[in-house]
Amino acid sequence: MNDSTARDTERGQPTENQGHVLTLPLEDLQVDREPHRYERWMIAKLLRMAGSPPVRFRLWNGETVEPAEGQAEFTLQLTDPKALLSLASNPNLAFGDLYSAGRLQLLDGDLSDLTETLYRHIHRAMQNWPRWLETLWRNHAPRSTGIDEARENIHHHYDLGNEFYRLWLDQAEMQYTCAYYETADATLEQAQLAKLEHVCRKLRLKPGMTVVEAGCGWGGLARYMARHYGVTVHAYNISREQIRYAREEAKRQQLDHLVDYVEDDYRNISGEYDAFVSIGMLEHVGKENYQALSDLIKRSLKPDGLALLHSIGRNRPMLMNAWIEKRIFPGAYPPSIGEFMGICEANDFSVMDVENLRLHYAQTLTHWKERFDQNEDRVAEMYDEHFARAWRMYLSGSIGAFRVGSLQLFQVVFSHGENNNIPRSRQDLYTSPATPEDV
């Protein structure tokens, strides 16, 4: 698979992104004095440190700074001198903040393509950065994920209101995690249901089994498992908004006798189950809690049980982008497989299967962003322009990060070390398409 499909869809609507930018009250921010020589020098320096990407800067007085090498593919507008200062002093944080505030605007080009291009150039350039610059621009350590902070962290993002997420997530099961595209032309709905099916197959679910889910979002996986595999599920989540939605849906679908949504921290899971599953929670767990998570799975999983953890990850240990960690996902940390293995090695678990779905997440995010763009005015009404721009930045930046491989998506299946009652091969995962025809 390559992500050309994704990129083309993005390119399909360049005017729209510009449209949004032009609706801003520029005059409130505009300063029209001449830039000083050190300000022009600073921009040239910034571009060089970023590996000379094909980016043109347009300053507050209309004058432009062209890229040192080649043609500009993107034009970034800086509305005021202070914006330049904060960009130079802490770009990881300031780029998103300035964009959200409308003080850094993309005039030409697509935002996902820009972030992808910047990631590629900076990744190469970083290797030659002086230590002082690395230190100056380093992403800070993520905030704590203790029981109380976790509640705040999750509330900050997942309690924004189900109506907001309904605007751009799939209509099938409100899945806010990576989908599984068996074909390039699968719809978001098909790909999200295919993801649920793929996960159920990896867990080798059979009727009557018991499953515990840590971090269940809006409860879609739990309902899918109950509906299609006849298992009983205890699904944990600390987001009140999501639990409320999940319970209503389960009742509506008459699955509430099989699915129990528990509004509590995963650390309070009790009982023994045939399967332990967690989709998109590990990013919020924090490395300092891996030992505790490992112990939890050890005591929650029956001797023959299988566990599956699905998480955003890295090719090597690296801090989360400062802006994402501070403004979007407080406490978030995507582990490398080596770090992930801390969970498995701590209790002699045997890893059976690791699959990387990186480009599936680029495609998922692209589908989300298409729907988000179509509803952005509605989002601005619900919240404000600043919020809408921040989310456009977050979705576009994530598309870029998965396209360049700054982020990965791992599904890891493991069992107790002594368990010999394990599948002979993975053939059974692929006997029939996971993508439902009828969606």
Q: Pick between residue 86 and residue 419 the one whose CB is nearest to a second copy.
A: 419
Residue span 88-127 as binding mask against a second copy, x where in contact by CB under 8 A, dash where not: --------------------------------x-------
Among 256, 353, 370, 377, binds a second copy (CB under 8 A): 353
Residue 128 in contact with a second copy, rule: CB under 8 A: no
Among 222, 281, 332, 344, binds a second copy (CB under 8 A): 344
Q: Pick between residue 3 and residue 385 the one whose CB is nearest to a second copy.
A: 3
Residue span 409-438 as binding mask against a second copy, x where in contact by CB under 8 A, dash where not: --------xxxxxxxxxxx-xxx-------
Residue 359 in contact with a second copy, rule: CB under 8 A: yes
Minimum CB separation of residue 340 from a second copy in Å reads: 9
Residue 295 in contact with a second copy, rule: CB under 8 A: no
Residue span 161-180 as binding mask against a second copy, x where in contact by CB under 8 A, dash where not: -------------------x
Minimum CB separation of residue 344 from a second copy in Å reads: 7
Applying CB under 8 A, the site for a second copy has a residue count of 50
Among 44, 356, 380, 383, binds a second copy (CB under 8 A): 356
Among 354, 380, 382, 439, binds a second copy (CB under 8 A): 354
Residue 184 in contact with a second copy, rule: CB under 8 A: yes
Residues 3-62, interacting with a second copy (CB under 8 A) = 3
Residue 69 in contact with a second copy, rule: CB under 8 A: no
Of 312, 422, 328, 306, the residue nearest 362 (C-alpha): 312
Minimum CB separation of residue 304 from a second copy in Å reads: 10
Minimum CB separation of residue 352 from a second copy in Å reads: 5
Among 16, 288, 345, 381, binds a second copy (CB under 8 A): 345
Q: What's phi and psi for 336, nearest 5 deg? A: -75, 165
Minimum CB separation of residue 103 from a second copy in Å reads: 32
Minimum CB separation of residue 196 from a second copy in Å reads: 15
What is the strand order of the sheet 64-65 is part of? 64-65, 55-58, 74-78, 104-108
Hey, what are 438's tokens?
A: 């009828």
Q: Pick between residue 199 and residue 222 the one whose CB is nearest to a second copy.
A: 199
Among 77, 117, 278, 408, binds a second copy (CB under 8 A): 408
**Part of the chain binding a second copy (CB under 8 A), chosen from 67-75, 220-228, 282-290, 402-410:** 402-410
Minimum CB separation of residue 190 from a second copy in Å reads: 14
Using H for helix, E for strand and C for coil, what is the string for the chain? CCCHHHHHHHHCCHHHHHHHHHCCCHHHCCCCCCCCHHHHHHHHHHHHHCCCCCEEEECCCCCEECCCCCCCCEEEEECCHHHHHHHHHCHHHHHHHHHHHCCEEEEECCHHHHHHHHHHHHHHHHCCCCHHHHHHHCCCCCCCCCHHHHHHHHHHHHCCCHHHHHCCCCCCCCCCCCCCCCCCCCCHHHHHHHHHHHHHHHCCCCCCCEEEEECCCCCHHHHHHHHHHCCEEEEEECCHHHHHHHHHHHHHCCCCCCEEEEECCHHHCCCCEEEEEEECCHHHHCHHHHHHHHHHHHHHEEEEEEEEEEEEEECCCCCCCHHHHHHHCCCCCCCEHHHHHHHHHCCCCEEEEEEECHHHHHHHHHHHHHHHHHCHHHHHHHCCHHHHHHHHHHHHHHHHHHHHCCCEEEEEEEECCCCCCCCCCCHHHHCCCCCCCCC
Q: Pick between residue 181 and residue 245 the one whose CB is nearest to a second copy.
A: 181
Q: Pick between residue 198 and residue 284 the one whose CB is nearest to a second copy.
A: 198
Among 24, 26, 126, 351, binds a second copy (CB under 8 A): 351
Q: What's phi and psi for 354, nearest 5 deg? A: -125, 130
Hey, what are 304's tokens?
A: 């023959």
Residues 299-338, interacting with a second copy (CB under 8 A) = 315-317, 336-338
B/e letters for 62-71, b = 16+ CB within 10 Å, e = fewer, are eeebebeeee
In the chain the first and final C-alpha atoms are separated, in Å, by 22
Minimum CB separation of residue 102 from a second copy in Å reads: 32
Report the C-alpha gap between 249 and 162 in whole angstroms.
12
Minimum CB separation of residue 32 from a second copy in Å reads: 42
Binding site residues, a second copy, CB under 8 A: 1-3, 120, 180-184, 315-317, 336-338, 341-342, 344-346, 348-356, 358-360, 403-405, 408, 417-427, 429-431
